[in-house]
Structure 1
Amino acid sequence: MLHDAKLPKTLWGECIRHAVWLKNRTLTKVLQGKTPYEVAFKRKPNLANVPDWGAKVFVSKKSKSKLLVHARIGRWVGFNDDVEDFEVSKGHRIYWEDSRSVTVERTVVFRKDEGKVRGFIEVEEEGVEVGIEGEGSVNNPNNPANAHISNSPTSPETPRSESLEPV
């Protein structure tokens, strides 16, 4: 997780903390196919909305002016489970790259582009997925699967934006 998120090695403790959080919500033979969470709380864990560790997030800032920035960008490193009943806590542990610190925040918004399939970019205009260039990429001319693809455009391109002139 630490390597995949491209975060510093100093966050190894946060990484292990989240790995243990996930492990406690994973089935185990010792508990006859139940999770440790299920045994402790008598209900199944819901992992449907668990974000990727290290995902970029926006955290609301209290601002006195409408013209100032209203959010900071941080990295999500887990849920706050320091309280006794962490199911009640809505806190998220956020790593701040500028100050190299972790704080617990409640007003967190996850970026829409986070959580997409890694290695693919979705082009919304045409609804096509384009792979990142590499051996098996659709953009690699050496890939035998791409022998039928021509690099020349089929129609002339039109400019997508117009220049604005002062009024």
Structure 2
Amino acid sequence: MTQRINGWQKAPHAIKALGGFPMYLAKSSLDSNLLHLIYFRVSQLNGCAYCLDMHAKDLRAAGESEQRLHMIAAWRDAPQYSAREKAALGYAEALTRVAENHLSDEVYSEALAHFSEAELIDLTIGIIAINSYNRLNIALPGEPGTYVPGQFAAIAH
């Protein structure tokens, strides 16, 4: 594989520009663990090693169980996830794979059944954010395994 530019080291201005997402979401009523679950699953779908490492560590630091982390790829059949979490995961997958299937009325309605309109907007922003970060980290990767839980918490405030 060709050596790539480390965006975290060489483009702090670009990282700062994306910092608007966590600042916005820090004011959201959405639970941060739910957002990290979404970030973790979307990062799996996108194959972003840096983000998988980051969000797994943040979830563990917040008390998330190893079982739920291991089962997230099969969330539809896993009883460890609430109906609300499943609605969010389905919505996140649909928006991440929008070019394949678009966003069905069924997935949208299920999400809206579990989230207020304001929460659904915030969830959408969270999904946009993680997809943006995934693409940055795939094109201009940081070094997977180097993240320390809470390392970027200051960006959110």
TM-score (norm 2): 0.24
Greater Rg over alpha carbons, structure:
1
Larger relative contact order (Cα-Cα within 8 Å, sequence gap ≥ 6): 2
Higher strand proportion, which one?
1
TM-score, normalised by the number of residues in structure 1? 0.23
